[in-house]
Amino acid sequence: MIITNGKIVTWDQPNQILEDQAILIQGGKISKIDDEANLLAQYPEEEKLDANRQYVMPGLICAHTHFYGAYSRGLAIPTEPPPAFPEILRDLWWSLDKALDEKAVRSSAWVSIIDAIKHGNTTLFDHHASPNFISDSLDVIADVVDKSGIRASLAYEVTDRDGIKKSEAGIQENIRFLQRLKQGDTLEGRLAGSFGLHASLTLSQDTLEKVRGALDDQFGVHIHVAEHISDEYDSLKKSGMRVVDRLNSFDLLNENAIVAHAVHVDAKEIALLADTKTWVTHQPRSNMNNAVGIGNVESMMRAGISVCLGNDGFSNTMWDEWKTAYLVHKLVNQDPRRMGGYEVVNMAVYQNADMASHFFGLPVGMVKEGAAADLIFVDYTPFTDLSAGNLPWHIIFGMQHSMITMTMVAGKVLMANRQLRTIDEEKVMAEAFENSHSVWEHYNSQF
């Protein structure tokens, strides 16, 4: 396939916006970028996709999400309003996850992935929990990844909060799924994985020891760290160490490990995350919603940590996460010079692309020869100069997800002219709605 007639944002280093160039896509990858007339003359038989003067850019990447949270939409917590994050966990998430059976896991993956494709996401890192349907749950989600055409990394969150049997089952589910990946069953490179852990505060020393024993060095953990201050105090009580030191004492931090949030880590923990080359993900909308505080991600980046941007299961509108990151650090620090557009792009574009490329084993998140053909079209008409240099501010102040008209993953068009191509959306939504009744009933029955 040849993409013609687009203004191509490469998000390479340095970023460029190419005019009069076309992109040749073969075998799911970008195989050539060249002068449009040349490319058309060289490959006259190739199918053409006219970008119609839209911006063509790498698809959005989400570094940390929860498909299983889909059924929280519109759900009322039947208790007094939770005063802090530990009560939000108890009254919302740890009750909702128990209400998910196989059907609900499948449906929540479908609706989340549909939402993602419609808003221009092409790669997502999911973190899953369904304590009453653990075994094979990652295969159910992987089946949706397969059928939908998206690129995703999956993990099952091991936790002791539902008893030792379920903790053990979570460990086994990660082992089973990662073994599948190791044997090469990766949906032609669209499927990856981590060993999921909930958070230090629901993991005992024994369980962390078991995880270390079960973890193949080819993979790393994906865990929430110091999202709320209670995680640090719990860790100090259990082990005499802060959370990052505690995880490091089990040798769980390395270039394959993903740490979500890191809101309350101290300077020593930041240094340790940098030394171990651990990926950190930042989710400012979730942090604001849970009122947990906001991680000092500018310092983390200065310390050399690769800080990526995720959505933590909020709507899959990653540009909203960009905009929130851009705004909240200014407010918190009462300084409009904080978190500039380039810092946002560093997380959302470059670090996310680095992490995706590391996990999927090929360049992802940039337009260059050999990279994954994961692309979007954006129907945006600037009324001021737009250059590679000021593009971050055009995105933050000008671009909206409603302008995304086409989403492609691995060379396959998943949405064209805002219509899903590979998914019967009406049928999937009807099934999800049907399942929602039993999920909400099960959730409410616990109070």
Contacting residues toward Zn ion, per CB under 5 A: 312
Q: Are strands 404-409 and 375-378 parallel, antiparallel or unpaired?
A: antiparallel
- Other CB atoms within 10 Å distance of the CB of residue 361: 11
Instruction: Kindly tell me which of 312 and 354 has the beta carbon lying closer to Zn ion.
Output: 312
Q: Which residues contact 74 (CB under 8 A, 6 or more apart)?
A: none
Residue nearest to Zn ion (CB): 312
* Residue from 59, 88, 69 nearest 141 by CA: 69
Instruction: Kindly tell me which of 312 and 374 has the beta carbon lying closer to Zn ion.
Output: 312
DSSP-assigned states of every residue in 133-195: S-TTHHHHHHHHHHHH--EEEE-B-B-STT-HHHHHHHHHHHHHHHHHHHTT-STTTTEEE-E
Instruction: Kindly tell me which of 43 and 85 has the beta carbon lying closer to Zn ion.
Output: 85
Query: Both tokens of residue 197?
Result: 């852990």
Instruction: Kindly tell me which of 7 and 261 has the beta carbon lying closer to Zn ion.
Output: 261
- Other CB atoms within 10 Å distance of the CB of residue 154: 27
314 and 281 Cβ atoms separated by less than 8 Å: no
Instruction: Kindly tell me which of 126 and 269 has the beta carbon lying closer to Zn ion.
Output: 126
Instruction: Kindly tell me which of 87 and 146 has the beta carbon lying closer to Zn ion.
Output: 87
In what side-by-side order are the strands of the sheet with 151-154?
60-65, 121-126, 151-154, 191-193
Instruction: Kindly tell me which of 290 and 296 has the beta carbon lying closer to Zn ion.
Output: 290
174 and 158 Cβ atoms separated by less than 8 Å: yes
Q: How far apart are CA 245 and CA 231, in angstroms?
A: 13
161 and 94 Cβ atoms separated by less than 8 Å: yes
